[in-house]
Amino acid sequence: MMEIRPLLMCFALCVVYATSKPTEKKERIHHDAPLSSREHDDAQGFDYDHDAFLGQKEAKSFDDLSPEESKRRLGVIVEKIDGDSDGFVTEVELKAWIKKAQKKYVYENVDRQWKDFDVNNDGMISWEEYRNVTYGTYLDDPEPDDGYNYQHMMARDERRFKMADQNGDQIANKEEFTAFLHPEEYDHMKDIVVLETMEDIDKNGDGFIDLNEYIGDMYNHEDEMEEPDWVATEREQFSEFRDKNKDGKMDREETLDWILPSDYDHAEAEAKHLVYESDLNKDGKLSKEEILNKYDLFVGSQATDFGEALVRHDEF
Condensed to tens digits (0 to 9), the pLDDT of residues 292-304 reads 999 999 999 877 5
Q: How far apart are CA 314 and CA 316, in angstroms?
A: 5
pLDDT band at 37 (very low <50, low <70, confident <90, very high): confident
Q: How confident is the model at residue 3 (pLDDT cuts 50, 70, 90)?
A: very low
309 pLDDT more than 70: no
Is residue 171's pLDDT more than 60? yes
Lowest mean pLDDT among 31-40, 83-92, 286-295: 31-40
Helix or strand or coil: residue 169?
coil
Over residues 47-73, the pLDDT tens digits come to 999 999 998 889 999 998 999 999 999
Higher pLDDT, 141 or 68: 68
DSSP 54-99: H-HHHHHHHTTS-HHHHHHHHHHHHHHH-TT-SSEEEHHHHHHHHH
Q: How confident is the model at residue 222 (pLDDT cuts 50, 70, 90)?
A: low
Looking at residue 144, its pLDDT comes to: 66
Comparing C-alpha atoms, which of 72, 92, 94 is closest to residue 299?
A: 72
The answer, as to whether pTM is greater than 0.85, is no
Question: What phi, psi does 231 have (nearest 5°)?
Answer: -70, -45
Mean pLDDT of 180-194: 94
CA distance 94 to 81: 7
E strands, 171-289, are 171-172, 209-210, 249-250, 285-287
Q: Which residues pair with 287 in a beta bridge?
A: 88
**Average pLDDT in the 239-259 region?**
96
Q: Quick one: pLDDT band at residue 122, thresholds 50, 70, 90?
A: very high
Its sign, for the CA torsion 62, 63, 69, 74, is positive
**d(C-alpha 206, C-alpha 65), whole Å:** 60
With a cut of 70, say whether residue 168 has pLDDT above it. Answer: yes
DSSP string, 239-255: IIII-TT-SSEE-HHHH
Rg over CA atoms, the chain: 24
The answer to whether residue 259 scores a pLDDT higher than 90 is: yes
Predicted confidence at residue 147, as pLDDT, reads 65
- C-alpha 99/C-alpha 32 separation (Å) is 9
Nearest to 234 by CA among 256, 250, 251, 253: 250
Count how many Cα atoms sit within 13 Å of the Cα of residue 224 in the half-sphere of its side chain: 0
